[in-house]
C-alpha cells in the first residue's frame, strides 16, 4: 500500500449515501437465492459480476431490484446489515446513514416487522459490539404509486424513533420532485430530515435539483452533480449549505471512477460535497476506502483535501451538534498525528 492509501484507510470516516439492499455481494446473492429457493439467471459469481456493466439508471435498477427479491426472512435482513456494519468497522467508518426501500418488500408481502426487525437488530449489535454508529433513512420509490407511499407513514409508526430521514429514489423519468410535494410536506410535519435523489444526467436534472431545494425543501441532494450546469444553482447550494452526497463509483468495464471530474469541480467551487459508495455490492468500486483511494488517485487530492471530504460528511450528517463535534475532533486528532508522522 502507498502512504496515501494507508492514510485513507486509517482515517475516521462517515458515509451518507448507502442503500442497504445494494450491499449484497455476488457471493451473498447466490447464497440467499439458494437458501430462499429463488432462481437467478447466473451460474456463479463471475456471471453475477458480469451483469454489473450497467448502461443507464433503468438497467442498474433492474439488477438492484433483482437483489431485493432474494431478501425474504428477518435473518436475511439481519445478515446483510450486519455484514455491512462489520465492514464499516474494518474500514474505520465510525458513522453511516443507511437508506432502505420499504415498498418493494411490502409489495412482495414481506411485513414491516420482518425487514425492520433484521435491520434494527444488526444495527443495535454493531453499536454495542463494535462501536459503529448508524441512522436510517426511509426512501420512497418514484415509480410506485404516491398513495402507496403515503401509507408508509402509518406503517412505520412503531419504528418512527429509529428513522432519522426521508428520501426519494428510483427512476426519475416522468417523476419530477414536484410530483411528491404533499409527501414531503407530510414527512417534514412528522419530523423527518429530508433528502432526495437527483441522479446523474437524467432528463431535466437541473430543474429537478431546483425543485428539490425550493419546493421539497431538502437539506441534502443525493448525487446532484448536474448542478454544475447552472452557476446560480451552485451559488444557491453554497448559500444554503446544502450537501451533495456524490457517488464516484465504477463498473467492471470502467477504467476509472465515474464523475470524478465533476466531483473535483464541485469541491473546488466550495460546494459541500461528500464521497459515498451508493451500492457497494453492485459496483467494482466496492466499499468506501477503495472508492476514496480510487478518487484520490484519479484527481490527485492531498491528505488535507481528503480530510476535508470527511469533514463535509460529518458536518452534512444528521447527528446532533455534540456528536458532530466529537467526530470532527476525532478526525482532527487523526490528521495531526498522521500528517506529522
Q: What is the CATH number of the domain that holds 104?
A: 3.20.20.140
Q: What total of structural domains would you count in the chain?
A: 1
pLDDT per position as a tens digit, 81-94: 999 999 999 999 99
Domain assignment of residue 35, given as a range: 3-340
Instruction: Describe the chain by its helix, strand, coil percentages, rounded to 5.
Output: 55, 15, 30
pLDDT for 57 equals 85
Q: Measure Cα distances from 313 to 101, 233, 317, 328 in Å.
A: 22, 21, 6, 10
What is the pTM for the complete model shown?
0.97
pLDDT band at 341 (very low <50, low <70, confident <90, very high): low
Query: Which grid coordinates belong to 63?
Result: 439488477
Distance of alpha carbon 26 from alpha carbon 20, whole angstroms: 14
pLDDT, the chain, mean: 96
Query: Which grid coordinates belong to 234?
Result: 451552485
Highest mean pLDDT, choosing among 41-50, 57-66, 259-268: 259-268
pLDDT band at 340 (very low <50, low <70, confident <90, very high): low
Amino acid at each position: 500500500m502507498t502512504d496515501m492509501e494507508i492514510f485513507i484507510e486509517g482515517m475516521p470516516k462517515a458515509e451518507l449515501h448507502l442503500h442497504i439492499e445494494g450491499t449484497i455481494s455476488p457471493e451473498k446473492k447466490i447464497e440467499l437465492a439458494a437458501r430462499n429457493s429463488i432462481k437467478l439467471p447466473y451460474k456463479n459469481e463471475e456471471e453475477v459480476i458480469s451483469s454489473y456493466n450497467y448502461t443507464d439508471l433503468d438497467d442498474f435498477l433492474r439488477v438492484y431490484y433483482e437483489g431485493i427479491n432474494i431478501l425474504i426472512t428477518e435473518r436475511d435482513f439481519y445478515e446483510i446489515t450486519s455484514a455491512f456494519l462489520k465492514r464499516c468497522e474494518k474500514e474505520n467508518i465510525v458513522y453511516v446513514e443507511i437508506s432502505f426501500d420499504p415498498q418493494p418488500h411490502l409489495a412482495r408481502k414481506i411485513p414491516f416487522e420482518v425487514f425492520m426487525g433484521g435491520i434494527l437488530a444488526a444495527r443495535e449489535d454493531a453499536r454495542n459490539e463494535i462501536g459503529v454508529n448508524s441512522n436510517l433513512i426511509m426512501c420512497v420509490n418514484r415509480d410506485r404509486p404516491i398513495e402507496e407511499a403515503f401509507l408508509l407513514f402509518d406503517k412505520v409508526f412503531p419504528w418512527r424513533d429509529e428513522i432519522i430521514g426521508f428520501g426519494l429514489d428510483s427512476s426519475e423519468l416522468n417523476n419530477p420532485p414536484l410530483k411528491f410535494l404533499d409527501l414531503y410536506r407530510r414527512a417534514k410535519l412528522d419530523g423527518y430530515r429530508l433528502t432526495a435523489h437527483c441522479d446523474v444526467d437524467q432528463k431535466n436534472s437541473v430543474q429537478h435539483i431546483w425543485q428539490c431545494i425550493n419546493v421539497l425543501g431538502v437539506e441534502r441532494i443525493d448525487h446532484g452533480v448536474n448542478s454544475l450546469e447552472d452557476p446560480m444553482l451552485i451559488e444557491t447550494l453554497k448559500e444554503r449549505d446544502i450537501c451533495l452526497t456524490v457517488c464516484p463509483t465504477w463498473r467492471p468495464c470502467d477504467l476509472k471512477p465515474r464523475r470524478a471530474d465533476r466531483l473535483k469541480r464541485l469541491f473546488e467551487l466550495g460546494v459541500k460535497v461528500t464521497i459515498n459508495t451508493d451500492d457497494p455490492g453492485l459496483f467494482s468500486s466496492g466499499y468506501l476506502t477503495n472508492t476514496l483511494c480510487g478518487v484520490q488517485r484519479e484527481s490527485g487530492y492531498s491528505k488535507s483535501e481528503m480530510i476535508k471530504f470527511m469533514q463535509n460528511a460529518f458536518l452534512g450528517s444528521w447527528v446532533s451538534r455534540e456528536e458532530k463535534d466529537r467526530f470532527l475532533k476525532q478526525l482532527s486528532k487523526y490528521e495531526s498525528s498522521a500528517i506529522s508522522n
